[in-house]
Amino acid sequence: MDGRSIDERDRQNAPQTAVVNRTFADRYFKNRNPLGRHFGRDGAEHANDYEIVGMVEDAKYQSTYKAAYPMFFLPLLQMEKKPDGSLAGANYINDIELHVSGKAGNPEPLIRKAIADVEPNLSVLDVIGYGEQLSLQFNQERLVATLTELFGLLALVLASVGLYGLVSLAVARRTAEIGVRIALGATRDGVVAMILRGALVQVVVGVAIGIPLTVGAARLIEHRLFGVSGYDPVIVSGAAILLAACAIVAALIPARRAAGIDPMEALRVE
């Protein structure tokens, strides 16, 4: 933070002050130090109402997907009063932010007692920790992430089962060939390696086709991602390696079965 924050000096009869965020400063005081400058609202006659005494970093108050917008913060005690006695802009104290050092445990009883000691008629509706508030803000994103993981797991299972079926069918069709190879001196490890090579070729072709499609699809949903880019080489590489590992396991079962074929029985297969 540059300058100072709003404090006890900013009372009703003191000069009107404000704290702005960085986007506000960049937009209205580009390449200039905003501290000590003035701005206003509600017409040109109020252009110098507020003196900027501090600048804070940007924060997002409504959506994590949208860029930060210009914000200024005014002392509550300096808000203008309307003829009916209410504060201009209806900036009543709706929330109190409390910073606790160390392990706070459950501070709710102490907070309620402290506020009751100051003003017994002031109702405390709820006490929510920062972690809980953050969790509530990302309920939708967490649901989408969970569903995506489940669909991804389902796709991986289907791909593994499909590859297992294809390899099993190929082994069944090549039973006689495999028997001849074994009869001519092919080792069982060599037969397993041959079957696995054929399965991995299919996986490599599928990955080569799937990666560009994955990157393209990620670009379409990138605006729904928070803190994650549309293309992450580590994630894409990890998914490809995981798929290859599952493919090897799926193909290994029929490959080992093919290596155990009796050459005499295999030669009788039509």
Per the DSSP assignment, residues forming a β-bridge with 21 are 56
Q: Exposed e or buried b for every residue in 27-57, given b needs 16+ CB within 10 A? A: eebeeeebbeeebeeeeeeeeebbebbbbbe
Q: How many residues are given for the chain? A: 270
pLDDT tens sequence across 177-212: 777 777 778 787 887 888 888 888 888 888 888 888
Q: Which of 154, 174, 145 is nearest to 235 (CA)?
A: 145
Q: What is the mean pLDDT of the chain?
A: 79
Parallel/antiparallel/unpaired status of strands 50-56 and 17-21: parallel
Q: Exposed e or buried b for every residue in 173-201, given b needs 16+ CB within 10 A? A: ebbeebbebbeeebeeeebbebbbebbee
pLDDT tens sequence across 105-163: 788 888 888 888 988 888 888 888 877 877 777 787 788 888 888 988 898 888 888 87
Helix (H, G, I), strand (E, B) or coil at 83: coil
Neighbours of 68 (CB within 10 A): 14
